[in-house]
């Protein structure tokens, strides 16, 4: 119980340490914030709700069109990127990275963390 | 009777803690529990009582700083608020407090000071900042013996004794005695991991002056603000254009909506701080083409507002359907009869008839546009969620 919470905090802290990550959050599929490390902590809850809706909408659109479950949603802007990945049936992980961050490494880290989160919540 | 100042707890305790009684906050390690004692003493000072705070785990100035962090100004209670300093002597520092324990690791010395405070002061609220620290310094058996004496004396002198106790792995029998025998009331403060809700809760284990209510409440600790009851999700749903987004904004301290061309295409999200509650509000879209999103958002709600446009009875079928889509049956829900300002708006009773709703479903008249009735509606739903007292 308290162990799960501790492990979650570690997972989020580790992800936050990855190069270029400005904010990250573990979010339930239905939009509740599980744990986060955000630059603007007071926005964490609404950020969580938005991210879950975004990924959910993308997954529905893609599967309905017969293109399967998407691996991730990437939102690009000149100020940086927002990346959301599913982490099993209960949760997803979202990060915000700075614009100069290379995609390759962070995607790898994110997938690894998503796998861990999935296992943690099983 | 003194009030703890912890939202809902006083109600659950039948009004608060009667004079002469003792209460322990039984805190799981790793949970932010010490604030319970602080909030209780601040609240009774505010009500005009005399207060004593027994400091064991740090210097009194740090505790005073904690009060400030919560936004609680204790300076105005100078002549009614005293510290028992059971820390400074440990580190050989001088103390400016009214009561100083010369050897905090010796229970007799400790007890002598507590007992003189008990005898000298008018009926007061005496809060022990950390009973566990006293146990660590003075020993389990010795401390428990002393606590029983203090509790007995408090009865005679009409004080209320409140203890913060962190349940470290002490002996089984000590923990059992603390939980079951030594105090008039035991409030357990712990952490939960339920599905995806990871949070902190409190609940009454025992209260011998009232038929205790075995309800647990989630809480959060805000600085400033202290303990707020936390409701992670309240759903706002209802047919197209009924005023869901307007309602979320009217109720919330801050809110955002993903609206395009005047309709919600993703969600509204708002945060409410009201009467000791901290709640996150999720508004759904209304149009049928967004039903997948409505389903996605509705999981794990603790309560539901169903918003209907009171001038538009043809929508009521869709409204009922939305209760099904969101799996709201079985959850506490309140119907919001919105747009009461418009001509032809049906009254709540007319809506009840048209909807064929039983009498225990509350229907609240609201003008979301003018923020009229939104807080009344919030209170009705909160009462249903917390067990309606
Ligand atoms: N007269 C009146 N108009 C209202 C009231 N509440 C909302 N409205 C209006 O009703 C319209 C719809 O309001 P919204 O809050 O966007 O409704 P909604 O339910 O979120 O709509 P969708 O998201 O599209 O389903 C807007 O034009 C509001 O100004 C009210 O109490 N009285
Ligand atoms: Mg809307």
Res B92: pLDDT: 92
| Final residue belonging to a domain, choices B224, B255, B286 | B224
B192 touches chain A (CB under 8 A): yes
Contact at 8 Å (CB) between B246 and B238? Answer: no
Res B389: pLDDT: 39
Looking at the fold, whether B213 and B284 belong to one and the same domain comes out as no
Looking at the fold, whether B244 and B150 belong to one and the same domain comes out as no
| pLDDT interval class at A10 (50, 70, 90) | very high
Rounded distance from Cα B217 to ligand 1 centre (Å): 33
Looking at the fold, whether B289 and B368 belong to one and the same domain comes out as yes
A52 touches chain B (CB under 8 A): yes
Looking at the fold, whether B210 and B242 belong to one and the same domain comes out as no
Residue B245 has pLDDT above 80, yes or no: yes
* B21 to chain A, closest Cα gap in Å: 32
Res B325: pLDDT: 93
Res B30: pLDDT: 85
Does residue B2 lie in a domain region? no
The 3-state DSSP class for residue B215 equals: coil
The domain that holds A77 is classified in CATH as 3.30.450.30
Q: CA separation (Å) from B214 to B18, B182, B187?
A: 19, 20, 10
Mean pLDDT over B130-157 rounds to: 97
Looking at the fold, whether B191 and B243 belong to one and the same domain comes out as no
| Final residue belonging to a domain, choices B224, B244, B268 | B224
The domain that holds B54 is classified in CATH as 3.40.50.300
Cα–Cα distance between A35 and A18 in angstroms, integer? 17
Residue A1 has pLDDT above 60, yes or no: no
Residue A75 has pLDDT above 90, yes or no: yes
Res B355: pLDDT: 87
- Among B185-189, B261-265, B356-360, the minimum mean pLDDT is found in B356-360
Res B196: pLDDT: 65
Could you give the percent of chain B with pLDDT greater than 90? 87
pLDDT tens digits for range B331-368:
999 999 999 999 999 999 999 999 888 888 999 999 99
Ligand 1 atom closest to the CA of B368, numbered from 1: 31
Contacts of B300 in chain A (CB under 8 A): 28, 30, 32
Chain mean pLDDT for chain A: 93
A74 touches chain B (CB under 8 A): no
Mean pLDDT over B301-311 rounds to: 96
Does residue B1 lie in a domain region? no
Looking at the fold, whether B275 and B163 belong to one and the same domain comes out as no
Position with higher pLDDT, B30 vs B388: B30
B46-85 in b/e form (b: 16+ CB < 10 A) is beebbbbbbbbbebbeebbebbeebebebeebeebbbbbb
Contact at 8 Å (CB) between A37 and A43? Answer: no
Q: Which domain covers residue B187, as residue numbers? A: 9-224
Q: What is the DSSP letter of A31?
A: S
Residue A2 has pLDDT above 80, yes or no: no
- Report CB contact under 8 Å: A4, B297: no
Report how many domains make up chain B: 2
- Report CB contact under 8 Å: A2, B191: yes
Looking at the fold, whether B200 and B51 belong to one and the same domain comes out as yes
Cα–Cα distance between B126 and B45 in angstroms, integer? 11
Res B6: pLDDT: 94
Tell me which residues have their CB closer than 6 angstroms to ligand 1: B 240-246, 263-264, 285-287, 338-339, 341-342, 367-369
Mean pLDDT over B211-233 rounds to: 89
pLDDT tens digits for range B58-98:
999 999 999 999 999 999 999 999 999 999 999 999 999 99
Looking at the fold, whether B333 and B241 belong to one and the same domain comes out as yes
Res B388: pLDDT: 47
Q: Which domain covers residue A46, as residue numbers? A: 2-121
Instruction: Give the β-pairing of B22-27 and B263-274.
Output: unpaired
- Among B188-192, B194-198, B216-220, the minimum mean pLDDT is found in B194-198
Looking at the fold, whether B51 and B69 belong to one and the same domain comes out as yes
* Residue of chain A minimizing CA distance to B270: A46
Rounded distance from Cα B371 to ligand 2 centre (Å): 16
- Report CB contact under 8 Å: B293, A56: yes
Residue B40 has pLDDT above 80, yes or no: yes
| Final residue belonging to a domain, choices B180, B206, B224 | B224
Looking at the fold, whether B200 and B237 belong to one and the same domain comes out as no
Query: Can you tell me the ipTM of this complex?
Result: 0.87
Cα–Cα distance between B209 and B18 in angstroms, integer? 8
Query: Which one of the ligands is nearest to B237 CA?
Result: 1
- Report CB contact under 8 Å: A57, B297: no
Q: How many A×B Cβ pairs under 8 Å?
A: 81
Contact at 8 Å (CB) between A114 and A87? Answer: yes
Report how many domains make up chain A: 1
* Residue of chain A minimizing CA distance to B190: A2
Q: Whose CA is nearest to atom 1 of ligand 1?
A: B339
Rounded distance from Cα B335 to ligand 1 centre (Å): 15
Does residue B3 lie in a domain region? no
Res B108: pLDDT: 96
Of B198, B258, B282, the CB nearest to A5: B198
Res B195: pLDDT: 66
């Amino acid at each position: 119980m308290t162990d799960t919470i501790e492990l979650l905090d570690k997972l989020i802290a580790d992800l936050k340490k990855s190069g270029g990550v400005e904010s990250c959050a573990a979010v339930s599929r239905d939009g509740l914030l599980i744990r986060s490390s955000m630059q603007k902590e007071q926005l964490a809850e609404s950020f969580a709700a938005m991210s879950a809706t975004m990924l959910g909408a993308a997954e529905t659109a893609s599967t309905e069109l017969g293109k399967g479950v998407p691996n991730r949603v990437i939102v690009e802007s000149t100020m940086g990127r927002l990346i959301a990945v599913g982490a099993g049936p209960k949760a997803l992980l979202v990060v915000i990275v700075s614009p100069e961050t290379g995609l390759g490494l962070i995607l790898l880290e994110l997938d690894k963390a998503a796998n861990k989160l999935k296992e943690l919540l099983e | 009777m003194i009030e703890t100042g912890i939202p809902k707890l006083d109600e659950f305790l039948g009004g608060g803690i009667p004079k002469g009684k003792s209460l322990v906050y039984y805190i799981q390690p790793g949970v932010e529990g010490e604030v319970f004692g602080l909030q209780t003493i601040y609240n009774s000072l505010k009500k005009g009582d005399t207060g004593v705070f027994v400091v064991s785990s740090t210097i009194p100035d740090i505790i005073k700083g904690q009060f400030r962090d919560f936004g609680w100004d204790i300076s105005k209670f100078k002549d009614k608020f005293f510290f028992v300093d059971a820390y400074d002597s440990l580190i050989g520092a001088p103390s400016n407090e009214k009561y100083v324990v010369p050897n905090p690791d010796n229970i007799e010395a400790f007890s002598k000071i507590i007992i003189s405070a008990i005898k000298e002061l008018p009926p007061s609220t005496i809060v022990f900042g950390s009973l566990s620290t006293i146990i660590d310094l003075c020993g389990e058996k010795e401390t428990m013996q002393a606590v029983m004496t203090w509790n007995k004396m408090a009865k005679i002198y009409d004080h209320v004794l409140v203890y913060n106790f962190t349940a470290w792995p002490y002996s089984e029998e000590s923990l059992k005695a603390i939980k079951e025998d030594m105090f008039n009331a035991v409030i357990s403060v712990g952490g939960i991991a339920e599905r995806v809700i990871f949070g902190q809760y409190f609940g009454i284990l025992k209260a011998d002056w009232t038929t205790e209510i075995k309800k647990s409440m989630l809480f959060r600790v805000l600085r400033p603000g202290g303990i707020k009851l936390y409701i992670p999700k309240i759903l706002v749903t209802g047919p197209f254009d009924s005023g869901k987004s307007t309602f979320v904004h009217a109720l919330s301290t801050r809110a955002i909506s993903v609206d395009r061309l005047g309709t919600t295409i993703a969600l509204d999200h708002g945060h409410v701080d009201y009467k000791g509650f901290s709640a996150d509000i999720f508004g759904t879209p209304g149009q049928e083409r967004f039903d997948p999103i409505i389903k996605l958002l509705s999981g794990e709600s603790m309560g539901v507002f169903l918003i209907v446009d009171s001038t538009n009875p043809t929508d009521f079928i869709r409204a009922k359907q939305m209760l099904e889509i969101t799996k709201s049956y079985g959850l506490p829900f309140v119907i919001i009869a919105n747009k009461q300002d418009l001509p032809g708006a049906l009254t709540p009773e007319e809506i009840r008839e048209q909807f064929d709703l039983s009498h225990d479903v509350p229907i609240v008249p609201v003008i979301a546009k003018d923020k009229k009735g939104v807080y009344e509606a919030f209170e009705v739903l909160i009462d249903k969620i917390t067990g309606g007292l």
